[in-house]
Amino acid sequence: MNPKVLFAALPFLAACLPALGKDTLAGPVAAEVVRTLDGDTLEVRAQIWLNQELTTHVRLRGIDTPELHTSCAAEKQMAETARQRLSALAGNNVSLTLIAYDKYGGRVDANIANAAGVDLKTAMLATGLAHPYDGSGARVDWCPVGSVK
């Protein structure tokens, strides 16, 4: 999808939230997984209205995973493993709940479950490839001690 179209649709979503009197959209919203961006972010396509689809990035609420864009080779390898694991866990279809704006913009935060109802946050934490993270404070340093940064 053309990024201009995506960003053109964001004001529509923003307009819907105040009308509901909330800063979150409760959901569930069914979505198709377009691709897995990293260990805690999916690109999804959801039908938001009659014949209206939105493709956007959705970050798993409450976790942090290693970064793909890092100078630490060990962290980069863990990040790729986390991305592959999230992709396998998510499958092709997910359900989003408690959708809210992400603090960095350009994406939303949500609780995400796969088609079987498995909570992806819980599943990723169980792999050891994710740590709890509420968006405040310092993130975990994923580069192992002794690794070259």
Sequence-ordered alpha helix ranges (H) in 96-140: 120-127
Provide the mean pLDDT of the chain.
85
Domain of 57 in residue numbering reads as 3-132
d(C-alpha 69, C-alpha 125), whole Å: 21
Kindly report, residue by residue over 75-126, the tens digit of the pLDDT: 999 999 999 999 999 999 999 999 998 887 788 999 999 999 999 999 999 9
Is 54 a member of any domain?
Answer: yes
**How far apart are alpha carbons 36 and 89 in whole angstroms?**
11
Residue 149 counted as domain residue: no
Per-residue confidence (pLDDT) for residue 22, from 0 to 100? 59
Q: What is the mean pLDDT of residues 142-147?
A: 81
Question: According to DSSP H, which parts of 91-147 are helical?
Answer: 120-127
Read off the pLDDT of each residue in 45-60 and give the average, rounded to a whole number: 91
CATH number for 58: 2.40.50.90
123 within domain boundaries? yes
